[in-house]
Amino acid sequence: MLVHRSTKRGAFTVAIAAVAALAVSALPAQAFSPRSETGVTSTTIKLGITVPLTGAAAPGYNKVPYGMKAYFDYVNDNGGVNGRKIQLVIKDDAYSPILAKSVTNDLILKDKVFALVGTLGTANNEATTKFVNDKGVPRLFVNTGFSGFANVKKYPTTYALFPSYFMEAKAIGGYLADKLPGKKVALLYQDDDFGIDALSGFAQVGTSFAVKIPYASGSQADPTVVGKWITSIVASGADTVVVFGVTSASAAALGGAYKAGLAGKLQWILGSVGADPTTIKAVAPTAMPLLNGAIAASFLPSPSDSADEYVKQFQEINAQYNKGATFDNNVLVGMNAGMLAVQALRAAGATPTRAKLMAALNSQGSTFASAGFAPLGWSKTSHAGYNGYWFGRLAADGSQTPVDGAGKYVLYTTDSSKGAVVKSTITRPAMPAKGLPTN
C-alpha cells in the first residue's frame, strides 16, 4: 500500500510538471506575438485548407489542394501578393466532419492561419462553422455547393463559390424537361445536407423520379451497397439516372452498372460534384465505356478544352509547378480558387486584415477574374458565388463537349429559391496576363 501511494504521488508530480511544461511552452509565442493580423507577417500570408487526402472520398479531391498550391507557388515566384508569399497549410480530414473539426482547430489555433480557403465538404464545413464564426476567420470559396453557405447571417465569414446544389438540381431539372422529356428517371443522391439540398431543388422545378436512392457518405466503397443501387435502378424501370453524389460514388455506380451488363442501356446525368472523368478513370476504369455519352453539369470550362484561355494558362502552370499531376477538373478547381484568393488578398490592401479581406470581397469580389462562366454574386447581403451551369457530353476519353457542340457553352442560370431557370450566354472577365491578377 505504501509503495502504491508514493507511486501515485510520483505520477501526479510528473503529470503536473508535464501539464505545466505544455502550458509554459505556449507563453513566449503569446508574449512576443507581433501586432499584425494573425497569419500575416511582412513577408508571408498563411492560408489553410482541409480536404480528404485519405479515405473513400479522397480520389480526385486529393488533387485540389496541390493544384491550389501550385498556383500559389507560381504567384510567389512572380512577386507574391504585395510582396508577401502565400503559404498554404494542407490538412487531411478524410471527409469526416469529426476530423475536419479537429484539423480546423489546428489550422486556426496551432498554425494560426489568416484565412481558410477551399475547405471541402458540406458536412465538414458545417461541423467547423461554430468555431470559425467565433474566431471570425474568413472562410473563402468553400468547396461545396450547399446553398446555406451563402447566408451571411448564419455564416458571416464564409464565401460560397460553387453554384448551390439547389441551383444545380433546378438546372438539371430544367435540362431534363427541356431536352429529355418523358424519360423515366432514377436519382442516386448522398444522404446528407448535400443531397437534401438537391432534393429541394428538384421539388422546386417539379422533377419526378421513378426511384430515389439515398446512400450514406462512404458507403460507396462497399460493393454490396452498390449492388443494391443497381438492383433498385433496374427494378424501377428507369432509362435515365441522375447521380447527385461525390465522384467516387458516380464511379462506383458506373462500375456497378457496367458489371451488371447495363452498358448503353442508361443515359447517365452526373452532377457537377460527381463528374470528374480522371477520377472515374482512376477508380473504376471498366466504367469508362459507360461514361461515353454521359451528360454532366459544369460551371467551369472543360479541363480538356485548351482553347479556353483560363484552361490553357492553368495547364501551363500545372506542368511547371505541379509535376506529375494530370490536369483535370480538381486541379482546375484548386487553381481557380487560388486565383480568386490572390485577387481577394490583393484587394485587402498592403496591410491585410481579416475584416479588410471580407470587405474587399463584398465590394469588389463580383468583378474578379475567374474561369467560371457564370457571374459571381458576392455582396454585403449575400455570399453566393456562381449561379449557373452548362451541360456537356462526356466522351470515353473523359473529355467534355457542350451538348450543342464544341465551344457552344449554353448557361442555365437560376437562384437558390423560387427563381426560374434561364438560358443565357456567357460573359466572363478576361484571364489576366500570364494568369497573374493585377487588380
Partner 1 sequence: MRKSKSLSALIFLAIGLFLLGLSNFVDELRVYQGAQIAVYVIAISSIILLTGYSGQISLGHGALMAIGGYAAVLSYTYWHVPFLIAFTIGALAAALGGFILGMAAARLSGPYLAGTTLALAVGLPSLANQFHILGGEQGLSFDIGEAPKWIANKTGGDFTQYKWFFWVSVVCALATIWFIKNLLQSRFGRTWRAVRGNPSAAALSGINIGRSKVLAFTVSSALAGLAGALLAMLLGLVAPMAFTLTLSFTIVTGAVLAGVTNLAGSIVGAVVLVVIPEFTDAVATHLGGSEKISANLPGLITSVLLILTVIFAPNGPKLHKRKKANN
Under the rule (CB under 8 A), what is the footprint of partner 1?
A: 3-4, 6-12, 14-16, 18-20, 22-23, 25-27, 29-30, 53-54, 90-92, 94, 96-99, 101-102, 105-106, 109-110, 123, 126-127, 130-131, 134, 191-193, 216-219
Tell me how far apart the alpha carbons of residues 60 and 95 are, in angstroms, rounded to a whole number. 12
CA proximity to 152, closest of 300, 394, 362, 4 = 362
CB of residue 288 to partner 1, shortest distance in Å: 28
The angle at the Cα of 11, spanning 9 to 16, to the nearest 5 degrees, equals 95
Which residue type occupies 161?
L
CB of residue 157 to partner 1, shortest distance in Å: 16
CB of residue 134 to partner 1, shortest distance in Å: 6
Nearer to partner 1, 193 or 305 (CB): 193
3-state DSSP assignment of residue 262: coil
Nearer to partner 1, 24 or 433 (CB): 24
Nearer to partner 1, 59 or 218 (CB): 218
Alpha helices (H) along 92-192: 97-105, 122-135, 165-179
CA proximity to 230, closest of 205, 194, 255 = 255
CB of residue 60 to partner 1, shortest distance in Å: 17
Backbone angles phi, psi at 355, to 5 degrees: -65, -40
Pairing type for strands 295-298 and 388-394 reads antiparallel
Which residue type occupies 407?
G
User: What sign does the dihedral 173-174-180-181 (CA atoms) show?
Assistant: positive
Q: Which three cell numbers stand for residue 416?
A: 437558390
Nearer to partner 1, 55 or 365 (CB): 55
CB of residue 192 to partner 1, shortest distance in Å: 4
CA proximity to 330, closest of 399, 277, 369, 287 = 277
Nearer to partner 1, 30 or 42 (CB): 30
Q: Could you tell me if 159 and 132 are in contact, meaning their C-beta atoms sit under 8 angstroms apart? A: no
Nearer to partner 1, 246 or 410 (CB): 246
CB of residue 421 to partner 1, shortest distance in Å: 29
Nearer to partner 1, 175 or 194 (CB): 194
CB of residue 275 to partner 1, shortest distance in Å: 22
Nearer to partner 1, 123 or 294 (CB): 123
CB of residue 129 to partner 1, shortest distance in Å: 9
Nearer to partner 1, 110 or 179 (CB): 110
Backbone angles phi, psi at 343, to 5 degrees: -65, -40
CB of residue 159 to partner 1, shortest distance in Å: 22
Nearer to partner 1, 99 or 347 (CB): 99
Tell me how far apart the alpha carbons of residues 307 and 413 are, in angstroms, rounded to a whole number. 23
Tell me how far apart the alpha carbons of residues 385 and 365 are, in angstroms, rounded to a whole number. 9
CB of residue 27 to partner 1, shortest distance in Å: 7
CB of residue 291 to partner 1, shortest distance in Å: 27
Nearer to partner 1, 50 or 240 (CB): 50
User: What sign does the dihedral 216-222-228-229 (CA atoms) show?
Assistant: positive
Tell me how far apart the alpha carbons of residues 20 and 379 are, in angstroms, rounded to a whole number. 47
In the 3-class helix/strand/coil scheme, how is 292-316 assigned residue by residue? CCCEEEECCCCCCCCCCHHHHHHHH
Per-residue buried b or exposed e for 176-210, using 16+ beta carbons within 10 Å of the residue's own CB: beeeeeeeebbbbbbebbbbbbbbebbebbebebb
